[in-house]
Structure 1
Amino acid sequence: MVLEVNEQYPISSVEIPLARNRAYEFLYYEKDKKAWNYFDEVKINKLVYVNPYTGKILGIYNEKYDLFPILKSVHWSLLLKADWGKYAVGIPVVLFIIMLITGIVLWWPKNKKARKGRFRFDWKNVKTWKRRNYDLHNILGFYASFIALLMSITGIYFAYPLVKKVFNVTLSGSMELPKEKEVKSPDSLLARNNSVFDLTAQETRRLYATSSSFRIPLNGKNKKGKTLKNIPVTVYGEEGRFAVRNQLAFDKYSGKLLLNKPHQKLNTAEKYAHANYDIHTGSYFGIAGKVIWFIAGLICTSLPVTGFLVWLGKRKKKGIKKAS
C-alpha cells in the first residue's frame, strides 16, 4: 500500500486508526525553510485517504488552501513564517495577560456590600444602557478572565522557549525536558522494505490495542529534515486529543521493538507538554470544555467594545464637569 500511494504522492507519514472501519491517513508535506509567509513556506500539505483493505485512494484533501488551516496560521503566526511569526503573535498575548490580571485586580470588591453586584446581573432598577454595558464588561469579563488566562498562558507556551522552561522547572525541577534516549538501529545487511512498516504496525496494535491511532514516519526523516536512526511511532490514546501519547521506536531494518515509553512513565513536565494544546483549545475537558472555551472566547471578543464604551462614558462625564 505504501508503494502504491508513494508512486503518486511522496508521503511523509501515515496515521493508522485502531478502528477497523476508518481509512488510513497519509500525509504529503513539503516545507520551504527560506520562505517568509505561510503560502510560500507550506509548499505542499495534502492528506490522502486510503482504504486499508483494498489500497484504493478514497480522497485527497488539500489542507494548504483550506479555510481552517489558513485560520490556524493566522492565529498561530499572522500568516508569516511560523518560526518567527509566532513571536509577533505572542507580544499582544503577553499584553492581554497583563490586562486580564490588572482587570481582575480592579474588579476585586473592596467590601462585602460591593461584592453583591459583582457576581450576577441585577437590572430591575437599572434604566441606563451605560450601567448595563458596565455590568456586561464587569461581570462577564470576570467569569471569562480565568479561562482567558488559561488560553493565553498555554498560547505563549508555544511561542516563547522561556515560558516552557518556567513550566519545566515548576513541574519537574529542570529547565529542559528529559532528552529522548537515542535508540539507533544496529548495523544490518537487510535493506528496509515495506514489510518493516507492517511489522511495526502489527506490534503497535498489539501493545496499544485500546488506543485511538498511531503515526509512523515513512520518509525516514524527522520534522527538521534530519535522517531518523530508527522508526519512531507516536501512539495517541484518545481520538481528537493529544494529551495521552505513548512513544515507541523500532529497528528500521528488522522491525524489532527498541523502545516502549508509555504515557505513565513520563514526568510531570513531559505530560504537560503533551497536554498543553488540549488545554489551550479546551478539548482536554471534553466537549463541555470546548463549549465553555468557545463562550469565553466570545466574551473576550466583546470586552474591547464594552471596555471602550465604559472609557468613553467616563471621558464624556469628565468633559461635562469641566464645562460646568
Structure 2
Amino acid sequence: MKTFFRNIHLYLSLVSGLVIAAVCLTGGILVFEKELEQAWHSERYFVQPAATSALPLVRLQEAVKAYKADAKIAGVKVYADPTRTVEFSLAGGPEGGKKPEGNKATAGRSEEGRSRQREGTGAKGEKGKGGEGGRGPVVFVNPYTAAVTGELNYRETVFFTVMTLHRGMVGGPVGKLIVGVSTLMFLFIIGTGLVLWWPATRKAVKQRLKVKWSGGWKRLNHDLHIVLGFYSALFLFVFAFTGLAWSFEWFNKSIYAVTNSPMERPEPPVSVTPAVAAPTGALTPDAALSRARQLAPLAVSYALQLPKEPTGSIRVATLRPNAVYENATDEVFLDQYSGQVLRQQTYEQRNLGQRVRGMFKPVHTGAIFGWPSKIISLVVCVLGFTFPITGLILWLNRLKKERRKLRRVAMAA
C-alpha cells in the first residue's frame, strides 16, 4: 500500500514541485509585507505628533488637490494613532502632479483598499471587481501640517510583482489555474507524505521526529525532508487549503453553501435628496468623521468611502481595538445630506459565510495571532520551498541505488 502512496506522492510532486516552491517562496516574502512597506517608507505612514490638534479634513483635501490638480477623492482613512498620516484614496485616472521632495514613493492605493482587494472582497459582495492594483492612487498627508508625505501605487511596488507571482505566476487566468491545480495537488502530496512518514514500529518514531545533524549529507537531506515535513505538514495544509479561495470561484461558493449563507451583500442604501438644496450642500468629510466618532469613539481607524452619485451614501468602516483581524470592521452607512444612519452592521452581524471567508486571509498569511503566527508562517513557507528540492534529491538518490542494485544482480547472473 505504501508503494501506491509513494507513487502518488512522487508523481504529483514532479508535476507541481516547481510551482509549489515558487508559491511558498513568494508567500514567505508577503508574510511581512505590511511591516516591510512601513519600514522602507516610514515617512509616508508616520509623523511626529504636534502639540496642536489635527487640521480639519477639508484643509488636508485642499493639500491633496494642490499636489494633484486632477485628483478625485474617493475615500479617506483616519487613524486614532496620533503618529499616523491621513490616507486619501483617489479614483483611478491620470497620475499627473508632482511628487514632494524627498518622497521615495510612487502612486497607489491605501492599505485597507489593497488588503480588501487581495482578499477578494468589496463593498457590495465578497467577490471584488478588478484585479490586483485596480484602484487609483493613495496620497498620504500629515494631519498637523497638511504636507503631502508620500504617494503609493501598488502596481508599481515590488510586492505587487511578488503577489502576481504568488497568485498566478504572472500568467493571467491560465497561471491562476495552474497555481490552483498545483495547490490541490499539494494537499494530496501533504496527505500522502504523512502516510509515508508514519513509522512501522515504536522504535522508528524517534528517528522520524529528530534530524540527525551528524549524519552524512544523504541522511541529512532525508531528515530535512521527512522530519521537517512532518512538523510543518499541518501548517502547510492550512495555508494551501485557504489559498484555494483565491484560485477557484467554486471554492468560494462552497464556503457560503456549507454555511448556508448568501454570497452577495445587499446594495448600499441611498440618501434622501432634499427637495430644497441645503445651504451647505452634502455632508463634509469632517462632519461624516465626527458622526463616525460619535458612533464608535474607541475605534482604531475610520475609513470613509465617499459617494459617487447624488443619491449615494457615505460608507464608514471602523476597526475596534480588539478586532479579530484587520478587516473585521464594523460598517455604517450615513445619509450624505443629513448624516442619519441608514444602515449599520457590526462584524458579529455579518453572516457566517462572510465571517468564515474573511478569516481566510489572516489565516493564510499567518496574521491571525500577530507576530508569533507570522514568524511561524515565514518559517513554514521557507520549509515549503525546500521540500521539492530535498524530495527531488531523495528520488534521484533512490534511482541511483536501484540502478546499482540492478547492475549487481546482472553481474551475479
Q: TM-score range by the shorter chain?
A: 0.7 to 0.9
CA shift, 1:194, in A, is: 6.4
Deviates more, 1:52-61 or 1:273-282: 52-61
Aligned to 1:37: none
Contact 2:133 2:160 in 1 (8 A): no
Gaps of 5+ in 1: 33-39, 222-226
Instruction: Determine what percentage of the aligned residue pairs are the same residue.
Output: 26
Q: Number of residue pairs matched?
A: 307
* TM-score normalised according to structure 2 size: 0.66
Contact 1:11 1:26 in 2 (8 A): yes
Distance in 2, Cα, partners of 1:228 & 1:85: 41
From 141, 153, 164, the counterpart of 1:73: 164
From 153, 173, 190, the counterpart of 2:260: 173
Amino acid at match of 2:183: V
Aligned to 2:377: 293
Q: Compared with structure 1, are the counterparts of its residues 206 and 95 closer, same or farther at alpha carbon in structure 2 (3 Å cutoff)?
A: same
From 2, 9, 13, the counterpart of 2:75: 13
Aligned to 1:135: 223
Aligned to 2:349: 265
Alignment of 1:253 onto 2:312: no
Q: Secondary structure at the match of 1:301?
A: helix
Q: Compared with structure 1, are the counterparts of its residues 164 and 316 closer, same or farther at alpha carbon in structure 2 (3 Å cutoff)?
A: same
CA shift, 1:160, in A, is: 1.5
Q: Compared with structure 1, are the counterparts of its residues 183 and 153 closer, same or farther at alpha carbon in structure 2 (3 Å cutoff)?
A: same
CA shift, 1:41, in A, is: 8.1
Contact 2:90 2:138 in 1 (8 A): yes
Aligned to 1:36: none
CA shift, 1:309, in A, is: 0.7
Contact 1:243 1:271 in 2 (8 A): no
Q: Compared with structure 1, are the counterparts of its residues 167 and 109 closer, same or farther at alpha carbon in structure 2 (3 Å cutoff)?
A: farther
Distance in 1, Cα, partners of 2:395 & 2:170: 33
Distance in 2, Cα, partners of 1:216 & 1:199: 11
Alignment of 1:183 onto 2:269: yes
CA shift, 1:284, in A, is: 0.7
Deviates more, 1:309-318 or 1:155-164: 155-164
Counterparts in 2 of 1:1-324, with a 5 A limit? 1=58, 2-6=61-65, 8=68, 9-30=71-92, 45-81=136-172, 86-122=176-212, 126=215, 128-170=216-258, 172-174=259-261, 176-177=262-263, 179-180=265-266, 182-189=268-275, 190=277, 195-218=283-306, 220=308, 229-237=312-320, 241-324=325-408
CA shift, 1:282, in A, is: 0.6
The CA deviation string for residues 140-189 of structure 1, in whole angstroms up to 9 with x for no partner, is: 1111121111111111112222212333333x334x33633652222324
Q: Which has the higher contact order (CA 8 A, sep 6+)?
A: 2
Contact 2:78 2:302 in 1 (8 A): yes
Give the structure with the larger strand fraction: 1
CA shift, 1:54, in A, is: 3.9
Distance in 2, Cα, partners of 1:228 & 1:103: 57
* TM-score normalised according to structure 1 size: 0.83
Q: Compared with structure 1, are the counterparts of its residues 65 and 18 closer, same or farther at alpha carbon in structure 2 (3 Å cutoff)?
A: same
Aligned to 1:224: none
Q: Compared with structure 1, are the counterparts of its residues 258 and 141 closer, same or farther at alpha carbon in structure 2 (3 Å cutoff)?
A: same
CA shift, 1:214, in A, is: 2.4
The CA deviation string for residues 267-297 of structure 1, in whole angstroms up to 9 with x for no partner, is: 3322222222111111111100000000000
The CA deviation string for residues 42-72 of structure 1, in whole angstroms up to 9 with x for no partner, is: 5775321112244332222343322122222
Q: Secondary structure at the match of 1:30?
A: coil
Distance in 2, Cα, partners of 1:208 & 1:20: 17
Q: Compared with structure 1, are the counterparts of its residues 277 and 42 closer, same or farther at alpha carbon in structure 2 (3 Å cutoff)?
A: closer
Amino acid at match of 1:22: R
Amino acid at match of 1:229: G
Contact 1:46 1:60 in 2 (8 A): yes
The root-mean-square deviation of aligned C-alpha atoms, in Å, is 3.0
Q: Secondary structure at the match of 2:209?
A: coil
